[in-house]
Amino acid sequence: MKEPWADQYIKPRQGLAWKFATDPTVFRRGRETVMAQTEGDLRRMDVLQEALREEVHQRRLAVEINPSSNLLVGNLADIAHHPFWLLRPPVEKGRPGLRVCIGSDDPLTFATHTALEYQLLEDALLAGGVGQPQVDDWLEQARKTGLDYRFTSAIDDTLWSKIVQESELMYAGRQR
């Protein structure tokens, strides 16, 4: 006797994913390489990316950069290939960069912390030929954006003011 709830579990198993996992013929066919026509796709992707970039800019959204996580999850060869170079170029060329902030994603999983993420980006910018003053300005803007766009509400605005003030003093001391 079939249980009345069984259909919700059995029916999905009749789909292609189930057949791929259980039928050797479907599995072999699913592993075959199929050539696709891609003429014009790169240009369309460029147009779509530019439209999305403009939409993010117009809506005044911020993009969080998590360098260590992005390197591992995004399968990037190194930080020099990170998209932040395009999102907010350290030296603006024509159009304004997007607002970016720096995070550590999941510190336990990626064995990192926010200060290390800042250091990774500083090292990458310097290695990429960006001068120290521009690097400092870029990182400071990212820091301010992070404070402006944080998801947490300040329990004690006095505490947040003190943290921001100390951070700005540290930045000012670094400029000397």
Which H or E run contains 101? strand 99-102
Per-position pLDDT tens, the chain of length 176: 556 655 565 555 567 888 888 889 989 998 999 888 888 888 899 899 889 999 999 999 999 999 888 888 887 888 888 888 888 988 777 777 899 999 888 877 788 888 899 999 999 999 999 999 999 999 999 999 998 888 766 555 666 677 777 777 776 666 55
Distance between CA atoms of residues 79 and 115, nearest Å: 16
- Please check whether residue 175 is in contact with residue 136, taking contact to mean a CB–CB distance below 8 angstroms: yes
Both tokens assigned to 90: 């350290």
